[in-house]
Structure 1
């Protein structure tokens, strides 16, 4: 039996993720919302740019939740839920706030275990994914 403790995602980590995603979005001229969830799906950090569309707050949270629940970037899931995809019914099968649009990424500890998720909403999906992955890179470099 493996009894290795999983390092939790800290508030400082969550703030670093938000900061790095914000910097990436600002450098691209995008206004976004950023959500960080812990391993249990609980909110650790949230930020919405003043001019970001209101729905971006909801989309960033749903992207983070989806990435956490499926332990995969939402960008990798988009084709799987299309009408001809193997998981096409997943979008309506569960009473959960899943969203299959790029911009959500799981956060793993140094051993590869999932410890939370980050979601970015408000830019184009490819931009949101890029901002989220830039934030993961910045966190790993700390």
Structure 2
């Protein structure tokens, strides 16, 4: 099944919030996108700072756009900054090249969507995204 339902997206967000509580993270925001880059669900915890939607969305969107988790995009930004700058331009600034955006894959290895988490350190954001994706029964690919 390649469809990402609203029910599944909301469960992913709930699991990310649970992981954030378990790790005692700062307030996070979570965006869940389908394989076509369409927003399925978004929520932010109370106390989240400004621009969290754009950052969470940009982490997930970048993962889908480039077919790799945002940790790999972060490495590419260091190795090829002009390329990532150009991607930012052609995407209208929608790609955020830091860890916290992960591809979601089904049992057949097909990308069914992506999750972007922001609010704490990038490593902690990624940990919350990974835990949430895996709790939903999918494989997480952060790059």
1:26 & 1:138 partners in 2: Cα distance?
15
Structure-1 residue corresponding to 2:117:
120
Is the Cα contact below 8 Å between 2:76 and 2:84 reproduced in 1?
Answer: no
Structure 1 portions without partners, runs of 5+: 1-5
TM-score by length of 2: 0.87
Moved over 3 A (4+): none
Structure 2 portions without partners, runs of 5+: 139-143
Residue 28 of structure 1 and its aligned partner are, at CA, apart by: 2.0
Work out which of the residue numbers 112, 126, 129 in structure 2 matches 1:129.
Answer: 126
Q: CA RMSD in A?
A: 1.4
* 1:45 counterpart = 2:38: no
Work out which of the residue numbers 104, 109, 115 in structure 2 matches 1:107.
Answer: 104
Secondary structure of the 2:81 match is coil
Work out which of the residue numbers 44, 50, 53 in structure 2 matches 1:54.
Answer: 50
Is the Cα contact below 8 Å between 1:91 and 1:99 reproduced in 2?
Answer: no
2:118 & 2:101 partners in 1: Cα distance?
9
* 1:25 counterpart = 2:48: no
Secondary structure of the 1:77 match is helix
Greater radius of gyration (CA): 1
Secondary structure of the 1:65 match is helix
Structure-1 residue corresponding to 2:67:
71
Secondary structure of the 1:51 match is coil
Residue 73 of structure 1 and its aligned partner are, at CA, apart by: 1.5
Residue 38 of structure 1 and its aligned partner are, at CA, apart by: 0.7
Count residues in correspondence.
133
2:29 & 2:2 partners in 1: Cα distance?
26
Residue 72 of structure 1 and its aligned partner are, at CA, apart by: 1.6
